[in-house]
Homo-oligomer: A and B are copies of this chain.
């Protein structure tokens, strides 16, 4: 946990005291009519539809506090939720934040967690309008629900990809997974020798930050709306490219081909993957937690993307009976198959 000078026990403050502290977080949306403090929050929606998504984050399942600063954890917890709204081409507006904590956490620790959530909210114009705080039997549990809005015609689902569409991604993939490996290596070194300082040099810092403090590719969302570009499907890359491609294929009832040589991988990701004797493509395909956007569009829009940096076309949608294929750098054709789920 952070180097806290002060430690106030949660019991000293009580739940209502904690709620009062959290409640003091100002609402910034003019649409928020009532935030924390009544039976329910109240707000106004200005567009046709409401979007809702929710995520559970459980200590030692989804995060490890030995290498995750609480402020980063809060920031990421919020960003990961906003990501689901952006992936529908919507705008996140409100979140509820529920936390359950064991008595090993101080009030200051929880305030640090909230400060990270609040930082993400300020960046994205989102209000914290509610939540629940309670004790847990073990560890820290965070449940966030995000509510956004969009006009019906603008929403991009996973099920609209058509044969012939191009497949593209924002940013680069596999970096967060490599960042996680660096952190796990430093943790192992630290456990073996607690006197040892973690060694996170500048090259590694980029990867570690991709894991600990992901960002939403919001500028891409603004770009496609400004340019009136219609996407046929979109989703965020949270579980790894393979898994997300298969979701789009299944829901759109299509097949696809992607080219290994075109998958965008950061040079630092390649360098560190080599150190770990891992294949960077595997990191991109199966790593996850990049929170980039995967999307498809009619080739007629291809030239529209030229003015936007950081988009890479990685393949195209095929009829269903084509299957789900990867062209390797060695010119071989592989099937992309469903991976098991890590959580169970």
Which residues of A pack against B, CB within 8 Å? 10-11, 14-16, 33-34, 37-45, 48-56, 58-62, 83-85, 87-88, 90, 94, 96, 98, 100, 103, 129-139, 141, 143, 145-148, 150, 152, 155, 157-159, 235-236, 251, 338, 340-341, 343-344
Is B52 a contact partner of A94 (Cβ separation < 8 A)?
Answer: yes
CB distance from A198 to the nearest CB of B (A): 25
Is A85 a contact partner of B40 (Cβ separation < 8 A)?
Answer: yes
Is A15 a contact partner of B50 (Cβ separation < 8 A)?
Answer: no
Is A39 a contact partner of B16 (Cβ separation < 8 A)?
Answer: no
22 contacts between A and B (CB under 8 A): A10-B344, A15-B341, A33-B49, A34-B157, A37-B251, A38-B88, A39-B83, A39-B88, A39-B158, A40-B52, A40-B87, A42-B49, A42-B50, A43-B49, A52-B147, A53-B96, A58-B100, A58-B134, A58-B135, A58-B137, A60-B137, A135-B344
Give the complex CA separation of A44 and B251 in angstroms. Answer: 22
Is A48 a contact partner of B52 (Cβ separation < 8 A)?
Answer: no
CB contact between A53 and one of B39, B45, B62 (< 8 Å): that residue: B39
Q: Report the 10 A-B pairs with minimum CB-CB distance, sorted nearest first.
A: A143-B143, A40-B53, A39-B87, A145-B145, A39-B84, A40-B51, A15-B341, A54-B96, A56-B132, A138-B138
Is A14 a contact partner of B344 (Cβ separation < 8 A)?
Answer: yes
CB contact between A145 and one of B54, B133, B137 (< 8 Å): that residue: B54
CB distance from A121 to the nearest CB of B (A): 15
